[in-house]
């Protein structure tokens, strides 16, 4: 495999693992229902030393976005560069679609949990909001799935492009237009 292919896969995997780690850290430090107290003025009071769950959640979402963009951009570059009419059917689009689905739902879970962890005070009439247990962990699991499926997609696109390169190793030669119409003199 080329160095660039290994570099893209390595960077994407590193960012995916880091995104999952931040997602699990956000889950571990998230605000729970037991941590909220209701004051005499009917307001929800969240824990005073702000927990880093929101920062972990946003960092996880950003790293997932970065990993996904890198994999999709490089796969698209290879795919557009090596596309020919003679290319056979490829099933590379299946992990690509699944990767996009995991990306969208993972981002929704991570960002919504991070936003809900940013609360300071709310009126009781507006209800005390806390993230659902497991939201950040679910986003972290989807981040891992997204990156793994993206790497599989990238690998399939690169391997299909390499197969096309090996199949078309014919050297092109210029032949004048009337070469085949000339008579051969013995």
Which residues lie closer than 8 Å to 165 by C-beta, 6 or more apart? 82
At 83-109, the pLDDT tens digits run 543 344 567 789 989 999 999 999 999
At 109-135, the pLDDT tens digits run 999 999 988 876 665 566 778 888 999
b (16+ CB within 10 A) / e for 119-154? beebeeeeebebbeeebbbbbbbbbbbbbbbbbbbb
Separation in Å, CA 170 to CA 68, 81, 88, 120, 166: 36, 18, 19, 68, 9
Mean pLDDT (the chain, rounded): 82
Phi and psi at residue 44, to the nearest 5°: -85, 130
Q: Where are the domains of the chain?
A: 3-82+91-163
Q: Compute the half-sphere exposure of residue 184: CA atoms within 13 Å on the CB side of its CA.
A: 2
Q: What does pTM read for this prediction?
A: 0.78
- Confidence class for position 44, pLDDT limits 50, 70, 90: confident
Which residues lie closer than 8 Å to 113 by C-beta, 6 or more apart? 26, 27, 30, 53, 57, 131, 132, 135, 136, 139
Q: Rounded distance, CA 47 to CA 120, Å?
A: 8
Residue 3, number of CB atoms within 10 A of its CB? 7
Q: Summarize the confidence of residues 150-170 as an average pLDDT.
A: 75
Sheet of strand 37-38, all strands in order from the earlier edge strand to the far edge: 37-38, 43-45, 121-123
């Amino acid at each position: 495999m080329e160095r660039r292919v290994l570099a893209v896969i390595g960077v994407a995997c590193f960012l995916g693992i880091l995104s999952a780690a931040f997602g699990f850290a956000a889950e571990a430090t998230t605000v729970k229902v037991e941590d909220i107290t209701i004051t005499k003025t009917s307001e929800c009071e969240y824990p005073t030393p702000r927990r880093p769950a929101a920062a972990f959640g946003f960092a996880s979402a950003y790293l997932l976005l970065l990993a996904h963009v890198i994999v999709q951009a490089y796969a698209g570059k290879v795919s557009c560069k090596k596309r020919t009419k003679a290319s056979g059917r490829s099933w590379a689009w299946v992990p690509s679609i699944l990767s996009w689905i995991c990306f969208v739902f993972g981002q929704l879970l991570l960002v919504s949990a991070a936003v809900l962890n940013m609360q300071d005070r709310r009126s009781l009439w507006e209800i005390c909001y806390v993230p659902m247990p497991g939201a950040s962990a679910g986003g972290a699991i989807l981040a891992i799935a997204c990156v793994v499926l993206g790497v599989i997609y990238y690998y399939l696109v690169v391997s299909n492009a390499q197969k096309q390169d090996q199949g078309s190793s014919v050297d092109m030669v210029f032949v004048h237009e009337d070469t085949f119409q000339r008579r051969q003199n013995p």
